[in-house]
Amino acid sequence: MSDAWRATMSESTDKRWYLVYAKPQKEELARVNLDHQGYPTYLPMMRTPRRKMGRRIIRVEPMFPRYLFIHLDTETDNWAPIRSTLGVSKLVRFGMFPPSVPDDLIAALHTRDNASGVQDVPLNAFEKGQKVRIEEGPFMGYEGIFLAQTSQERVSILLDIVGKAARAQVNIEHLGPAD
């Protein structure tokens, strides 16, 4: 845990974490502007595989699109400027009051961050027997059945090629769920 993070977590026992609902794709803008106003925030980020022009790319995106966490004291912090902060849509409320997020959840999320503050979530978590589609490589377009992960990057799948079942080893990054 970073020193800044420890300081935020131990500042005051009256502080709680709450959810801010950001404008579409403006989570980072909201985070930066709230931080500039002195509000401690946390925006969990993760690596996500995407397709762009037929190629697979890895993007860093918010783990919870449109949401970020803010650390506030109900007694001493001024909550009024939050709603009008650039990038913020509103503070999440159920009825009249915003629910607090458990400190344990925030701490658990934060411990999974790497040195860059990004979570390395497994790109594809397939289960044995799940139908998959090969999205890249020589077997692109074929569908098969996921058998097992054989190493960090390779998996074994069962393909139906000309009416006969054949086992194939492919890179896990070349797979996606079948439609």
> What does the pLDDT look like over 121-138, one tens digit per residue?
665 678 888 888 888 777
Which CATH code fits 131-177?
Answer: 2.30.30.30
The yes-or-no verdict on residue 2 having pLDDT over 60 is no
For the chain, the first-to-last Cα distance in angstroms comes to 40
Cβ–Cβ under 8 Å, residues 179 and 133: yes
Mean per-residue pLDDT, 32-39: 95
CATH class of 3-119: alpha beta
In terms of pTM, does the model score above 0.75?
no
Which structure tokens are listed for 80?
A: 């009024």
pLDDT at 177: 80
Q: What distance in Å separates the CA atoms of residue 12 and residue 34, rounded to the nearest whole number?
A: 19
Q: What is the reported pLDDT for 1?
A: 46
Q: Measure the CA angle with vertex 128, ends 123 and 129; round to 5°.
A: 115
Task: Give the residue range(s) of CATH 2.30.30.30 domains in the chain.
Answer: 131-177
